[in-house]
Structure 1
Amino acid sequence: MKCGGSTLAALPESFFADMRQLQEEGIVTVIVHGGGPAISDTLSKLGIETEFVNGLRRTTEDVLDVVEMVLSGKINKEIVRRIQLAGASALGLSGVDGQLIEAVPVSNANEVGLVGDVTKVNAELIQDVVQMGYIPVIAPVGLGADGGQRYNINADTAAGAVASHLGVEQMIVVTDVPGIMNGEKQVLPVVTVAEIEAMIQSGVIYGGMIPKVRAAIACIQGRVKEVVIVNGSEPNVLSKVLKEGGIGTRIVR
């Protein structure tokens, strides 16, 4: 699952109760989370300027220090704490730990700075954490191949890469909208990769939804069969996705 930064504060207790229920039933969940609003707020308090280029935060070393502090520290531990309060077991990690996420600079690094594209995920480490009985909660900060350079990684991109490398059947994108909407603001129950490209070109899909669907497309071209975009504030949303269907938008090949 990818949990968006703007969604985390609004997630109801039933969301975490769902995670406990799934863990008890033997359904393994892995969370990759964002934290954009909290990062922006902290940067503002510290007087560090930030801007976005095509949905990606322009990242200098100063910005990256704050990104890592907020994602790997505050946000990651907050999610772990809420899962544990619901009665499940969780373990917080960042992409730096155990070289979990390896990355290279994005193609437009001259514009966005220290933003990374994922080249490798240590799936064995994630599986080991799961086998120990914990839900992995992953902050999307990555390392270069030599382990020296850190990279800020878009959470949608990181979640898609983790899903692909784990070979899971389904990725759930937990956000603050009910799914992908058409021009009449109606939720589309199913869309294909080709339809998404057309909707981006026509402007129906725009803004922060673009990196979400791009990550979904990259993910689906791997071993993942489908990506589901749902509103995290919907009561018992995880149970509904996994057991009932008919909620949010399913992105399929």
Structure 2
Amino acid sequence: MKQRFVMKCGGSTLAALPESFFGELRELQQSGVSPVIVHGGGPAISETLAKLGIETEFVGGLRKTSEAVLDVVEMVLSGRINKEIVRKMSSCGAQALGLSGVDGQLITARLVANADEIGFVGDVTDINAAVIEGVMAMGYIPVIAPVGIDAQGQRYNINADTAAGAVASHLGVHQMIVVTDVPGIMRAVDGVKQVLPVVTVADIDEMIASGEIYGGMIPKVRAAVQCIQGQVQEVVIVSGEEPGVLTKAVREGGVGTRIVKGV
């Protein structure tokens, strides 16, 4: 079986990545590695909702999703962001195919337990891995927008990190790569900030409680932890701006921060 990995990236992060990053995806693909990309797009969704005058709010870190908000979520994720990523990859010579979780019932979902509070937000119940495998078998990199569907045809807004973890688990992938705008989880050693090579989920909880992880890094690491499910044993947080970062993460190690379930 070909080497494969699942990469999760926010839509705004992907949009800001240099052309060399997409070129590296092409090189990995041409060398026989099979990437799968699951992307978000929160800032673009908020921006579009504001332009349309549709109110939005977050409950427990998840966007409260009415039918009107859901229309915008699908339009932005499955349309604008998904196709922007595919265009960028194609322009670098990579073979990419954009998919929504609705396509081929790729992501089956059900309402979250607190749906009365947050509306049409879904928990993933199944991943149609055969669709992803088929796309990869045709020589394309799947680029997946996290919109789910149920047997009755109801759409759901799926947290991108949750969707990425579910995709990785159903594909039997051991390692997830989360591409962001930071080089990893940092800790001050003798007054100098250094990237921690390995942390456990318990370490993260302690570092948040102590204030070592703070501000905008908190949602990044919590999102990464959400990806550790099923067969996914570790998540690597890396900066997309570091040259050759994907090749290092997939083949060499020693880059970013590895978050593991435990030691």
Length-normalised TM-score, structure 2: 0.89
Match of 1:23 in 2: 29
Determine if contact 2:224/2:237 at 8 Å carries over to the other structure: no
Residue in 1 aligned with 2:112?
106
Alpha-carbon displacement from aligned partner over 1:76-129 (angstroms, at most 9, x marks no partner):
011111111111111100000000001112222222211111110001110011
Q: Which moved more, 1:72-81 or 1:168-177?
A: 168-177
Which is worse superposed, 176-185 or 67-76?
A: 176-185
Residue equivalent to 2:242: 234
Distance 1:208 1:121 in 2: 30
Deviation at 1:10, TM superposition (A): 1.1
Q: Which residue of 2 aligns with 1:174?
A: 179
Q: Percent identity?
A: 75
For residue 155 of structure 2, the aligned residue among 150, 158, 168 is 150
Which secondary structure does the structure 2 equivalent of 1:177 belong to? coil
Match in the other structure for 2:199: 191
Q: TM-score, normalised by structure 1?
A: 0.92
Equivalent position SS for 1:162: helix
**Structure 1 unpaired stretches of 5+:** none
Task: Find the partner of 1:130 among 130, 136, 141.
Answer: 136
Greater Cα shift, 73-82 or 111-120: 111-120
Matches of residues 1-253 of structure 1 in structure 2 within 5 Å?
A: 1-144=7-150, 146-182=151-187, 186-205=194-213, 209-210=217-218, 212-214=220-222, 216-253=224-261
User: Which residue identity lines up with residue 238 of structure 2 in the other structure?
Assistant: V
8 Å CA contact retained: 1:104, 1:119: yes
Tell me, what secondary structure is at the counterpart of 2:12? Answer: coil
Structure with greater proportional strand content: 2
Instruction: Give the whole-Å Cα distance in 1 for the aligned partners of 2:94 and 2:230.
Output: 30
C-alpha contact (below 8 Å) 2:161/2:227 kept by paired residues: no
Aligned to 2:3: none
Q: Which residue identity lines up with residue 228 of structure 1 in the other structure?
A: V
Q: What CA distance in whole angstroms lies between the structure 1 residues aligned with 2:214 and 2:167?
A: 24
Name the SS for the 1:30 alignment partner: strand
Amino acid at match of 1:149: Q
What does the per-residue CA deviation read over 1:12-61, in whole Å, with 9 as the maximum and x for residues that have no partner?
11111111111111111000001111111111110111112222111111
* Residue identity in the other structure for 1:159: A
- The 8 Å contact of residues 196 and 257 in structure 2, kept in 1 or not, is answered as yes
Does the residue aligned with 2:242 lie in a helix, a strand or coil? coil
> How far off is 1:231 after superposition?
1.3
Of 110-119 and 132-141, more deviation after overlay is shown by: 110-119
Residue 221 (structure 1) shift? 4.1
Does the aligned pair in 1 maintain the 2:62–2:159 contact within 8 Å? Answer: yes
Structure 1 distance, partners of 2:237, 2:202, is 17
Number of residue pairs matched? 252
Contact 1:10–1:233 (Cα < 8 Å) also in 2: no
CA contact (8 A) 2:15 2:85 kept: no
Kept in 1, the 8 Å contact 2:100–2:144? The answer is yes
Residue 153 of structure 1: how far off its partner (Å):
0.7
